[in-house]
């Protein structure tokens, strides 16, 4: 009997709604597997936590995460206007999400741009651009770069406001993410696109040096170096050429969201954030305050994050595969949610109903 502790950080906006569906699925997986039990621990996180406790990442939540085998996170964040009610450093991104990433050193962020032919109609790209479907794995460094470098805001001797923030990496940080990327490439198509900006950034010069060094240990993987700006062009023009892409934190933030655009929605992009000891899982989309509480958000990306957790933290590969298939089959049967599809394009159902259908299909 395996007992897995999972901390649930539902968060803000649509977070609690989609988390409910994730829990439904987890309970079903537990029911089906006599030798597995999930101990779920619901805790406060994000703006919700701030308004209740004065801290976006309260002590009790830290403890629950410390004790957990894996962490399942919903979404955090408020609207541009609402977030002004919280001091800058307690805002959910700076006060909760980034500290979570740092606490567990989740340096490897996996963002699949996975668009099987059957759901290719969601994409804004022409059918001939997508071809046989997309299956890209974006691997983003998640605990370095501009996100965690020193920051200084001030007023200079002439009374002028200024700001300085540091993009920093050392060779170990780069090597660990690059190694992960090569390992993943080796299990897939053996082509690794290395995204960089070495014609301007010195950090990319070091990054590329390490890529060349690590490449020696993976002679069967072909490395293709591509500038980040060119990568943004080609993700639109010819995404099917990519298999695994690796890049630093900020580039990964932007290009993975471009990937979400290509899928037709960030609602179709789950993600895994892997640390040396513990990993956490989250949808790539935001908290969508404009549609929160309406029951129209698609839980695909949240349930997909459960699938990634089952596979990567608990070694339940078959259950993960079944879950992906169940989700695809709901779309294939003609169902969708109002955030993804218009009336007439699909039978529109609620967040909860989508979760129910995934459970039925399982």
Ligand X SMILES: CC(C)[C@H](C(=O)O)[C@@H](O)C(=O)O
- Please report whether residue 103 would count as binding its own copies according to CB under 8 A: no
The distance of closest approach from Cβ of residue 255 to its own copies in the complex, given in angstroms and rounded to an integer, is 7
Distance separating alpha carbons of residues 82 and 24, to the nearest angstrom: 31
Q: Is 141 helix (H, G, I), strand (E, B) or coil?
A: strand
Distance separating alpha carbons of residues 301 and 118, to the nearest angstrom: 17
- Please report whether residue 141 would count as binding ligand X according to CB under 6 A: no
Q: Binder to its own copies among 37, 60, 205, 333 (CB under 8 A)?
A: 205
- Sequence length of the chain is 362
Q: Which of 169, 253, 281, 300 is catalytic?
A: 253
The distance of closest approach from Cβ of residue 229 to ligand X in the complex, given in angstroms and rounded to an integer, is 5
Which residue number, 146 or 215, has a Cβ lying nearer to its own copies? 146
Distance separating alpha carbons of residues 303 and 346, to the nearest angstrom: 20
Which residue number, 200 or 333, has a Cβ lying nearer to ligand X? 200
Based on the residue annotation, tell me whether 253 is a catalytic residue of this protein: yes
**Residue 99 CB: number of other CB atoms within 10 A?**
14
Distance separating alpha carbons of residues 130 and 229, to the nearest angstrom: 20
Q: Binder to ligand X among 93, 183, 243, 356 (CB under 6 A)?
A: 93
Query: Do 239 and 136 meet the contact criterion of CB atoms below 8 Å apart?
Result: yes
Distance separating alpha carbons of residues 228 and 193, to the nearest angstrom: 10
Distance separating alpha carbons of residues 195 and 283, to the nearest angstrom: 23
- Please report whether residue 91 would count as binding its own copies according to CB under 8 A: yes
Q: Binder to its own copies among 112, 260, 275, 338 (CB under 8 A)?
A: 260
Q: Binder to ligand X among 170, 171, 229, 345 (CB under 6 A)?
A: 229
Q: Binder to its own copies among 141, 253, 282, 339 (CB under 8 A)?
A: 253
Q: Is the sign of the CA dihedral 257, 265, 307, 78 positive or negative?
A: positive
Q: Where is 4: in which H helix or E strand?
A: strand 2-11
Q: Where is 154: in which H helix or E strand?
A: strand 151-155
Q: Which of 42, 243, 257, 356 is catalytic?
A: 257
Which residue number, 61 or 208, has a Cβ lying nearer to its own copies? 208
Distance separating alpha carbons of residues 162 and 187, to the nearest angstrom: 47
- Please report whether residue 82 would count as binding ligand X according to CB under 6 A: no
- Please report whether residue 233 would count as binding its own copies according to CB under 8 A: yes
Distance separating alpha carbons of residues 299 and 326, to the nearest angstrom: 13
- Please report whether residue 199 would count as binding ligand X according to CB under 6 A: yes
Q: Binder to ligand X among 97, 192, 306, 310 (CB under 6 A)?
A: 97
Residues assigned a catalytic role: 147, 197, 229, 253, 257
Q: Which parts of this chain interact with its own copies (CB under 8 A)? A: 77, 80, 83, 88, 91, 93-94, 98, 124-126, 129, 146-147, 149, 151-153, 156, 160-172, 197, 199-203, 205-206, 209, 225, 228-230, 232-238, 250-251, 253-258, 260-262, 264-266, 286
């Amino acid at each position: 009997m395996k007992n897995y502790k999972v901390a649930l950080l539902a968060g803000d906006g649509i977070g609690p709604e989609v988390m409910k569906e994730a829990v439904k699925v987890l309970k079903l997986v537990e029911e089906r597997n006599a030798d597995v039990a999930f101990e779920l621990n619901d805790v406060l996180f994000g703006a919700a936590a701030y308004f209740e406790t004065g801290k976006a990442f309260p002590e009790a939540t830290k403890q629950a995460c410390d004790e957990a085998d894996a962490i399942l996170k919903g979404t955090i964040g408020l609207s541009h206007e609402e977030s002004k009610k919280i001091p800058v450093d307690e805002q959910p991104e700076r006060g909760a999400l980034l500290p979570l990433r740092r606490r567990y050193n989740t340096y490897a962020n996996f963002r699949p741009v996975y668009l099987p032919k059957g759901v290719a109609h969601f994409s804004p790209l022409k059918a001939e651009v997508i071809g046989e479907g997309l299956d890209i794995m974006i691997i983003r460094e998640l605990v370095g770069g501009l996100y965690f470098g020193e920051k200084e805001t001030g007023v200079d001797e002439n009374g002028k406001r200024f700001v300085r923030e540091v993009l920093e990496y050392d060779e170990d940080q780069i090597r660990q993410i690059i190694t992960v990327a090569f390992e993943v490439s080796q299990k897939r198509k053996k082509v690794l696109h290395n995204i960089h900006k070495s014609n301007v950034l010195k950090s990319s010069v070091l990054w590329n040096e390490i890529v060349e060094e690590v490449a020696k240990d993976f002679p069967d993987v072909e490395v293709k170096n591509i500038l980040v700006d060119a990568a943004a062009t080609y993700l639109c023009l010819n995404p099917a050429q990519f298999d695994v892409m690796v890049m630093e934190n900020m580039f990964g933030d932007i290009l993975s969201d471009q990937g979400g655009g290509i899928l037709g929605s960030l609602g179709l992009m789950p993600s895994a954030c892997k640390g040396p000891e513990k990993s956490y899982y989250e949808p790539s989309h935001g908290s969508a305050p404009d549609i929160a509480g309406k029951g129209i958000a698609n839980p695909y990306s949240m349930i997909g994050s459960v699938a990634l957790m089952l596979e990567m933290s608990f070694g339940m590969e078959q259950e993960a595969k079944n879950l992906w298939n169940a989700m695809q089959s709901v779309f294939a049967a003609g169902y969708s949610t109002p955030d993804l599809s218009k009336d007439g394009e699909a039978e529109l159902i609620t967040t909860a109903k989508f979760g129910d259908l995934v459970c039925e299909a399982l």
